[in-house]
Structure 1
Amino acid sequence: MKKKIEKINQQLIEHFGIPVRQKRLPDPLDIIIGTILSQNTNDKNSYKAYLNLKNYISSWEDILKMKISQLEKLIKVAGLGKQKSKAIKNLLTNLKKENGKLSLSYLKKKNDEEVLEELTSHKGIGVKTASCVLLFAFDRNVCPVDTHVHRILNRIGLVNTSSPEKTFYEIKNQLPQASAHSFHTNLLRLGREYCTPTNPKCYFCPIEALCNYPQKNFEVKSVIKENDFFLLDSIK
């Protein structure tokens, strides 16, 4: 599996390039809240919600004093306001209660498994959200798996899994060194532009030759609309 991942990653880099990363790693608390906001919506709406929050408050502490209805209103553009506001409020309340301050920096000293276990112990925080903290805030070689990544890796035939979480654990220890960020980001872009849920554009796909998907679609030859804005690489 590791050799095939390396080949897929290289071909995606040749097609899309190496995704740009910030020189300075963002705060892990910013990343986890941004990731909660990104659930079941697009990156642009998630970013609007994130900026709404950041521009309204002076620090995350302000949310502890905020009514849940007010928080829900601020993040409305990202959808699922009730669910996401509860997850954010619950996380911040627990952190304050357990650690006396709002910070996830203490997790840097823990290994990947410990970080995953600790973060997912909070209601509303799943493996995908926790793995985003590992990759984007701690620069660990961990590939978060959302619906795009899950769909593509199953279509390719790299895995045969029934959920993004199962796909995550299937590939977790198979990633070539320092490949996770480019692999994850370019798979997201592939899923948005080419390997869409319906009518995938296999005619243009840069990794079509490596794919075992039995229902390839070579009929759609429309112009590819680039979708290269990524929320978590935009959080500073």
Structure 2
Amino acid sequence: MKETQVQKTKRLEEIISRLAPKYPHPITALRFTNSFELLVATVLAAQATDKRVNIVTPTFFPKYNAPAKLLTLGEEKFRTLVSSLNLYKTKSKNILALSKILVEKHHGKVPNIREDLEFLPGVGRKTASVVLANAFHIPAFPVDTHVFRVTRRLGLTNGKNPLEVEKDITALLPEKNWIDAHHYFVFHGREICTAPKPKCSICPLVDICPYTPKNLIPKN
């Protein structure tokens, strides 16, 4: 029998209530001290781990933690500083370009409006959502690979892309819970509901999750 929207909402509430005590500090793993640092770190984190980004950013934070300051590095030097990350050439170019726009159009400040953020080079919907949620505490539900995987496995959405997943989950949750829920799913995806081999035997959601790992499906 197909789960109704009301039933799905109640199940999501139960999921959140179980994950909340397991992850009592729902904040991003990226290290930052201001909105610009978070924006830069999030752009760098595309196809890279937060852990790796946190190793790289201290090589130029906090000395270059504002758009005008970062621009003084120049493309060649900045590219060298981030060269250990995937797509570093494109990322360094975009970060310097967005820094220039912030200086010229936003008085060196990171805007807290989605449209303005997404106008910046290298900034898509997910990156904008991360900045809005974590730097400005504006309700947003970023969908990264962990959130995409976990919410689909839990049967909360059949979304084929991050935007569809975002729309489905935010329709089930009040805005005040979006940010924390995002972090819960990220942490759960990293620690328990991992991509290749989910640790279902120790998952606190196993009794309310419809997902069956391929290695547990009986063979005919």
TM-score after normalising by structure 1: 0.78
What secondary structure sits across from 1:76 in the alignment? coil
Distance in 2 of aligned mates of 1:30 and 1:103: 11
| Structure 2 gaps, min length 5 | 1-7
* Equivalent in the alignment of 2:207: 209
Identity over aligned pairs, percent:
29
Does the C-alpha gap of structure 1 residues 142 and 125 become closer, same or farther in structure 2, counting only changes over 3 Å? same
> 1:32·1:133 contact (CA, 8 Å) conserved in 2?
yes
> 1:203·1:217 contact (CA, 8 Å) conserved in 2?
no
* Equivalent in the alignment of 1:12: 19
| Structure 1 gaps, min length 5 | 108-114, 220-236
Q: 1:149 aligns with which of 142, 147, 150?
A: 147
> 2:36·2:66 contact (CA, 8 Å) conserved in 1?
no
Distance in 1 of aligned mates of 2:116 and 2:27: 26
* Equivalent in the alignment of 2:122: 124
* Equivalent in the alignment of 1:43: 50
Tell me, yes or no, if structure 1 residue 27 matches structure 2 residue 34.
yes
Q: CA deviation digits over 1:169-226, x for unaligned, max 9? A: 332343235323332222111111111111111111111122122436569xxxxxxx
Distance in 2 of aligned mates of 1:142 and 1:214: 30
Tell me, yes or no, if structure 1 residue 57 matches structure 2 residue 55.
no
What secondary structure sits across from 2:201 in the alignment? coil
> 1:66, CA displacement in angstroms?
2.8
Distance in 1 of aligned mates of 2:179 and 2:214: 27
Does the C-alpha gap of structure 1 residues 56 and 151 become closer, same or farther in structure 2, counting only changes over 3 Å? same
Distance in 2 of aligned mates of 1:179 and 1:172: 9
C-alpha root-mean-square deviation of aligned residues, in Å?
Answer: 2.4
Moved over 6 A (4+): none
* Equivalent in the alignment of 2:95: 88
What amino acid maps onto 2:73 in structure 1?
A: M
Bigger drift between 193-202 and 26-35 goes to: 26-35
* Equivalent in the alignment of 1:75: 82
> 1:155·1:211 contact (CA, 8 Å) conserved in 2?
yes
> 1:46, CA displacement in angstroms?
0.7
Distance in 2 of aligned mates of 1:190 and 1:162: 21
What amino acid maps onto 1:172 in structure 2?
A: T
Give the number of aligned pairs. Answer: 207
Does the C-alpha gap of structure 1 residues 58 and 20 become closer, same or farther in structure 2, counting only changes over 3 Å? closer
Q: 1:66 aligns with which of 73, 89, 99?
A: 73
What secondary structure sits across from 1:54 in the alignment? coil
Q: Which structure has the higher relative contact order (CA within 8 Å, separation 6+)?
A: 1
Bigger drift between 2-11 and 83-92 goes to: 2-11
Does the C-alpha gap of structure 1 residues 65 and 133 become closer, same or farther in structure 2, counting only changes over 3 Å? same
> 1:55, CA displacement in angstroms?
4.5
Does the C-alpha gap of structure 1 residues 21 and 122 become closer, same or farther in structure 2, counting only changes over 3 Å? closer
> 1:92, CA displacement in angstroms?
0.8
> 1:136, CA displacement in angstroms?
0.5
Alignment of 1:158-177 (within 5 A): 158-177=156-175
